[in-house]
Amino acid sequence: MQFNSLGLSQALLKAISKKGYTTPSPIQQKAIPHILQGKDVLASAQTGTGKTAGFTLPLLHILSENPKEKYRPIRALILTPTRELAAQVYANVREYSEFLELRSAVIFGGVNQNPQVATIRQGVDILVATPGRLLDLINQNHISLKRVEILVLDEADRMLDMGFLRDIERVIKMMPAKRQNLMFSATFSPDIKKLAHGILSNPVQVEATPENTTVDAITQKVYRVAKGLKTDLIIKLISDGNWKQVLVFTRTKHGANKLCEKMAKAGIKAAAIHGNKSQGARTKALGGFKNGSVSVLVATDIAARGLDIPLLPHVINFELPNISEDYVHRIGRTGRAGASGEALSLVSADETVYLRDIEKLVGIKIPVEIVEGFEPDPNASTQPEKRQQRGGGGGNRSRNNERSANSNTKKNDSSRRPKRNNDRRRNDRSN
């Protein structure tokens, strides 16, 4: 099947061709025709398989077919959980709408709102937003959602995981009851399906791959290692392999900063990206990683969704995630769009339970290797380490205060919400 057989306009086909695409991915083949027919869609596909174009292309087609008004109300709203994902989706909207008379904008926190407000005042057809900043600007009467025709929840499972359910419910109440709804995600938990039942009307469910599977093109490997030797091992692997682009995941912000410092002392150019970093610092780190001035990007799970790095060759789990589904999203940053990739995990004894749960989830036994001189400690406990809770956060499913967002968030963005499950609250709060 070719893109020109899906019923998309010539302007969109021209933009697709300019990007060098000819054949739609499986999720695009399945979702686009239903969306063009005006149906609500519940779509699931592995990360890196083209979900964004799967909803962006038909959305643009529908809006471009309808008459435009002199004053452009927001006609399509795309909600994303993180700033990085919002920026990525917006970039795709801009690229695909190059030959259309449609305006788009993106809003998220951590930056001055004034330029965003100025853009919205000029009129936009498509708004990409994170929930926190969207509600802030609505409360300030800068945004109205009364004319929204299409709602997209991108990475809906991540939004629930980050505690955005009430925000989503508030946003939905501000839109017309009659609209088209699209939910796209890498996975669909029972909570997501419950949310879909409350939002979608007679949805078509499409799925390109089984839930929580990992891309075949990704080579996975586990290095069993003593906990105290992880830093030396990762430096050895990167240095000996002369790897120039490596995405490394840690569980905590402090751990990310500490690992960056040790890599810098070893002569490796590294930068950290997490919720305590300002938006400017996060953008600079990601830009350096993409242009090659930074070899290693050390990230917390805030970066597991939304990072689109073409041909990323290596992902390393310095620490395994304590929520199994996050493993899929982490390693999904490599092996994208058919490219090959390598995902390595440094596993100490106290992560044995996490590894077992991950293997059960993805349905494979991940090959294990031990590097001489970095052997695991045979006397170490295999029980998960009980990490100190900070700021009153919750239990072993905590993201180690990643929910704390950053200090740039407006105070009223958090104070207006009732307290609940601090360990499941704001990863980035999407401010």
Phi and psi, residue 156, nearest 5°: -60, -35
Question: Which distant-in-sequence residues (6+ apart) come within 8 Å of 426 by Cβ?
Answer: 132, 162, 163, 275, 403, 404, 405, 414
**pLDDT at residue 304 in the model:** 57
**pLDDT at residue 423 in the model:** 37
Domains of the chain: 3-207 (3.40.50.300), 218-369 (3.40.50.300)
- What residues pair up with 219 in beta bridges, in sequence order? 342
- Distance from C-alpha of 7 to C-alpha of 215, rounded to nearest angstrom: 29
Q: Chain-wide mean pLDDT for the chain?
A: 84
Residues 43 and 183 sit within 8 Å (Cβ to Cβ):
yes
Asked if pLDDT for residue 289 goes beyond 70, the answer is yes
Taking only the tens place, the pLDDT of each residue in 343-386 is 999 999 999 999 999 999 888 899 999 999 999 999 999 888 76
Taking only the tens place, the pLDDT of each residue in 291-349 is 889 999 999 886 556 666 767 889 999 999 988 888 887 887 776 655 678 999 999 99
**pLDDT mean over 256-268:** 94
Question: Which distant-in-sequence residues (6+ apart) come within 8 Å of 8 by Cβ?
Answer: 16, 32, 36, 57, 58, 61
**pLDDT at residue 215 in the model:** 57
Going by pLDDT thresholds of 50, 70 and 90, the confidence category of residue 97 is very high
Return the higher-pLDDT residue of 391 and 174: 174
Taking only the tens place, the pLDDT of each residue in 144-166 is 999 999 999 998 888 887 888 89
Residue type present at position 17: S
Taking only the tens place, the pLDDT of each residue in 191-218 is 888 888 889 999 999 987 655 555 566 8
Return the higher-pLDDT residue of 38 and 421: 38
Going by pLDDT thresholds of 50, 70 and 90, the confidence category of residue 394 is very low
- Rounded to two decimals, the pTM is 0.68
DSSP line for 235-291? HHHHHHHT-S-EEEE-SSHHHHHHHHHHHHHTT--EEEESTTS-HHHHHHHHHHHHH
**pLDDT mean over 96-116:** 94
